[in-house]
Structure 1
C-alpha cells in the first residue's frame, strides 16, 4: 500500500497565490483637479471635426471639451492614425450599442448613433478629435467604451 503525504504548506501556498492573482485592478480613474475644473466649466464652444478631402464632418457641442482638447489632451501627432482608427472602431461600436439600449444606458449620455465606417479613411484630424472626444467623455462621465482604461 502506497502512502500519499500532503504537506499542508502547499495547499495554503497555492490558495494565497490564487487569491493574490485574483485581486481586481483599480477601476476608478484618477482625474486631476485641473481636469475636474474643465469638466465643470460651462465653455460651450463647439468643436468641428472636418476633413476637406473626404468631406466628413462631426460637430461636438460638449461643455468643456474644446478647453480639454487644447489644454489636457495629447497633442496632434502623439498617436498614429491607425492606432486611433482601431480604438475609434471599438468605441463607436460600443457607443452605438448603448444608444440602441436606452433602458440599460443613460439616454441623456448616449443620444445619437455615430456613423463611422472603419473601412473609410476619414483622415488624421477627424480620427484625432473623435478619439479624444471618447477619452474626454469616458473620463468626465466615468464610462468605459472598450476594454481599456481611458488615459491621457
Structure 2
C-alpha cells in the first residue's frame, strides 16, 4: 500500500508543476475620469494621502499659472501618462489611464490639480515627465539608503540645483576661496 501511494505521488508530481494553460483574465481597465462635484465644477480625486500635503506645502500656488498654460501642459502630460500605461512602463507607479478631453472646459482648479498630479508623481517617485516645466521638476539628492542608478544624471541634477540656487553657489565659492 505504501508503495502504491508513493507511485501515485510520483506520477502526479510532474503534472502539478506544469504551467496553467489558461491565462488569468485581465483585471478591469482602470481609468481616471474627471467628474463633476456637488457644485457642478470638475474635480479629480487622488487617493494618496501625501498628495494633499504636496499640494499645500510643496506645489507652486494656483495663482502662478494660467488656465491655458495648464491645459496645454496637461494635454502633453496625459498623452505621455497614457502612453506609459498602455506600454506597461512604470507599472508600479502608473496603475490607470486618464480620460481627458482637450475640448472640454474643465476650469482652472481642475487643470491645476491634474497638473499637480504629474508634479506629485515626479516629486514622490522621481518619474520624469517631459511635459512638466523646468521649475516644477524636483531635484533629487541621494538619500541614505537610495542607490543612484545613473551617476551622470545625478551630477547633472546637482549642477542644475546649484545653478538655480545662487545663494548656495555663492556660499560654496566663498568657502572654497577661504580654503585656498
TM range (shorter): 0.5 to 0.7
SS, match of residue 64 in structure 1: helix
Structure 1: distance between partners of 2:87 and 2:129: 14
The 1:148–1:71 alpha-carbon spacing in structure 2 relative to 1, beyond 3 Å, is: closer
Structure that is richer in helix per residue: 2
**Residue of 99, 107, 117 corresponding to 2:85:** 99
When the two structures are superposed, what TM-score results if normalisation uses the length of structure 1? 0.59
Structure 2 gaps of 5+ residues are: 1-33, 137-180
Q: How many residues align?
A: 102
Deviations 1:82-113 (A, max 9, x none): 110011110000000111111xx121211111
The 1:67–1:148 alpha-carbon spacing in structure 2 relative to 1, beyond 3 Å, is: closer
Cα displacement (A) at 1:148: 4.8
RMSD: 2.2
The corresponding residue for 1:83 is: 69
Structure 1: distance between partners of 2:81 and 2:109: 20
- Bigger relative contact order (CA 8 A; separation at least 6): 1
> Which structure is larger by alpha-carbon Rg, 1 or 2?
2
Cα displacement (A) at 1:76: 1.9
Structure 1: distance between partners of 2:35 and 2:51: 13
Structure 1 gaps of 5+ residues are: 1-47
Greater than 4 Å deviation, 4+ residue runs: 48-51, 147-150
1:73 aligns with 2:59: yes
The corresponding residue for 2:119 is: 135
Cα displacement (A) at 1:143: 1.4
